[in-house]
Amino acid sequence: MQTAEVVIIGGGIVGSSIAYHLTEAGCKGVLVIERETAQGKGSTGKSMGGVRAQFSTTLSIQMSLYSIPFYASFDERLGYPADYRPQGYMFCATSEKQLAYVRANYQKQVELGLKNVRLIKADEIRSMYPQLRSDDIVGGSFCSTDGFVDPYSAMIGFMSWAADHGGTLWKHTEVTAIQHDSRGVSGVTTTRGVLATRKVVNAAGPWAAEVGNLAGVTLPIEPLRRMLVPTEPFDQFPHSAPMIIDMSNGFHFRPEALGFLLAWNDPEETTGYKMDFEPSFIEKILIRAADRVPIFENLAVNPKRAWAGLYEMTPDHHPILGEAPELPGFYLANGFSGHGVMHAPATGKILSDLILTGETDLIDVSLLGLNRFAEGRIIEETAVL
């Protein structure tokens, strides 16, 4: 029977980062199993590629404090590109309540060591981007090291580096069962046959709960559709702009190629494996776009270029990280709730530390264990876009 030191189920950006970090730490025999014929067909290939440290909880901020400098040095470290563009994230508050929230987050971010974040006044926002309708903007925050990466390139870079250094990727192979004995995980059954292993990582993105079920572990993770609308080329707004967030309704946008990429979380969306783009979304998002940026009335959109993907939501919008409490050897790296690209580097490091040494000093990982839900220890991340 074939064996592997560690089997990672899912070859998206999270599985690939874990493979990289394990291999880089000296682990021999890392095997990533991906059921699609190519990587990136899950959430990673659908992502907006935003990376930010402007969060509301210590855990999210700490994960970004590892991940963003990692992306800044990715090309040099790995010899593959991640296309990190530090153009920033700018939150625009439209009420005193939102401004107080932004200030409290800013305080926490600075206390934790984030250097490039600052509060900005409404007048500064107006002078930087006079194209924004700013009559209701009361202030905001800006962090210059936030920005964008190319998620597909980063995923390929992580996996290629791991493969160059002894790791293995099996594509077009599905994990269909997970075996265990009295010591914990003992192997996996795949469409290529059975493998013996004592360590299995669930990195199955929006399908994490299904993979959990294969091991008899119930995960509170639900897929939630998010849609993105790229515009045709548009030169009446600067392409050096950051991700700009209208806090009145969550509409946000960033430059993409010669146009812009528009995003908005439709509060009427319901959970489920809905992967199709809904054409009526275009009108909804263009109304919000033109409301905040009046010249966006002139935007042209080709509905065929718009797409939908799945967030993997947990009840508290934090991931579930670490060994499953009831199944030794079954590790979870799931439920990123829209932040899996930006937190992939930290996740890879945390999981590699836990698998190889049983502990990590990157975060207090006990706070993100699966048992927090049963024990009522959830900590909510509210800065979700």
Interacting residue ranges for ligand FAD, rule: CB under 6 A: 9-15, 33-36, 41-44, 46-50, 174-175, 203-207, 211, 226, 228, 309-312, 336, 338-342
**Helix or strand or coil: residue 323?**
strand
Cα 312 from chain centroid?
9
Q: Which is nearer to ligand FAD, 99 or 251 (CB)?
A: 251
What is the spatial distance between Cα 231 and Cα 40, in angstroms, rounded to a whole number?
22
73 neighbors 124 (Cβ within 8 angstroms): no
Cβ proximity to ligand FAD: between 124 and 278 the closer is 278
| Tokens of residue 69, six digits | 């400098």
Question: By C-beta, is 137 or 200 nearer to ligand FAD?
Answer: 200
Rg (CA), the chain: 21
Q: What Cα–Cα distance (Å) separates residue 88 from each residue in 40, 85, 107, 329, 353?
A: 25, 8, 18, 39, 30
Taking the complex as a whole, how short is the minimal distance between the CB of residue 75 and ligand FAD, in angstroms? Answer: 19
Alpha helices in the chain (DSSP H): 13-24, 58-72, 74-78, 96-111, 122-128, 151-164, 208-214, 281-292, 344-357, 371-374
Q: How far is the CB of 374 from ligand FAD (least distance, A)?
A: 23
Q: How far apart are CA 337 and CA 366, in angstroms?
A: 19
Helices (H), 146-280: 151-164, 208-214
Q: Which is nearer to ligand FAD, 138 or 286 (CB)?
A: 286
The whole-angstrom separation of Cα 266 and Cα 353 is 37
Amino acid at 28: K
Adjacent-strand bridge partners of 227: 308
The residue type at 359: E
Nearer to ligand FAD, 122 or 350 (CB): 350
Of 41 and 165, nearer to ligand FAD (C-beta) is 41
By C-beta, is 122 or 318 nearer to ligand FAD? 318
Look up tokens 């809905």; give the residue.
Answer: 274
Q: Which is nearer to ligand FAD, 139 or 255 (CB)?
A: 255
